[in-house]
Each structure stands twice: as structure tokens, then as C-alpha cells.
Amino acid sequence: MKIKGLKKKITRLEKRLREGPQKLANLQRRLEAAEAAQALNAARKSAARAAAALIAEARKKPPVKRAKRKLNLSPERRAQLSAAMKARWAAKRAAEANAGQAIPQPTEGGHVTAAGLSDCVPSSDQSS
């Protein structure tokens, strides 16, 4: 091999050896920066997950029930409401019992009558 070619090879090798540590240091800095960015991102995501968990937990709690309002009823009105509710419940029980027994048959006019069911429909004159 000629001397000129050998000198070129040696200079190239020296240049590579000089740039090697710089390239290595540059790559190491880039790696550290990428790891720091990844750790920062992971911490932010973890904090976001924790916040979302707290929000979800807060939403799970049942709302506070309000205390029932005491009705200011006179004894007469209270008795009237009690009788109306008892009548409604009795009609409902009777309707359930009738529904389980038989299917209503058409009368002479061809219409099915609902015997006893008119009692369970609240009339407008009973409203307060």
C-alpha cells in the first residue's frame, strides 16, 4: 500500500476516534433527556389517573337524602287521606284477585265490563 493511502486511513481513524467520544456523549445526553421526559410523562399520567379515581369515587357516593317534610294536616284531613288510601289498596288487592281468577266475558252489548275497577280510579273531587 502506498504511503499516501496509509496516511489517509490513519487520519480517518484519528478523526473517527476524536468524534467517537463526542458522539457517545451526545447520544448519552439524548438518552438521559428521553428518560427524563418519559418519567415526567409517567408521573403526569399517574397523577391524572389518581385524580380521575378520586372524581369517580366522589361520584359513586349516594346523594344525601333530604329529611321528609312533615305534613301539617288536621286530624280530620289525616283520617280522610287514610280512608282514601285504604280504599285504594283494597281496590288494588281486589283487582289483582280478579285478574288471577277469570277472563271477563262480553255482555249482551258486546262490551267487556270492569266490575269493581271504577273504585280504584281516584276521582277529582277527592283531591286536596
- 83-93 pLDDT per residue, tens: 999 999 999 99
- Whether 44 is covered by a domain: the verdict is yes
> Both 1 and 46 in a single domain?
yes
> Both 84 and 48 in a single domain?
no
H or E element that contains 78: helix 75-101
Which residues, 6 or more positions from 112, have their beta carbon under 8 angstroms from its beta carbon? 104, 105, 106
Q: Which domain holds residue 99?
A: 75-103+114-121
pLDDT for res 56: 83
> Both 83 and 28 in a single domain?
no
Mean pLDDT across 113-122: 49
- Whether 66 is covered by a domain: the verdict is no
φ/ψ bin of 7: left (φ > 0), alpha (ψ from -120 to 50), beta (otherwise): alpha
- Whether 54 is covered by a domain: the verdict is yes
> Both 6 and 43 in a single domain?
yes
- Whether 108 is covered by a domain: the verdict is no
Distance CA 73, CA 75 (A): 6
Mean pLDDT across 103-109: 59
Report how many domains make up the chain.
Answer: 2
Distance CA 78, CA 9 (A): 112
Distance CA 21, CA 67 (A): 77
pLDDT for res 78: 93
Task: Give the SS3 label for residue 123.
Answer: coil
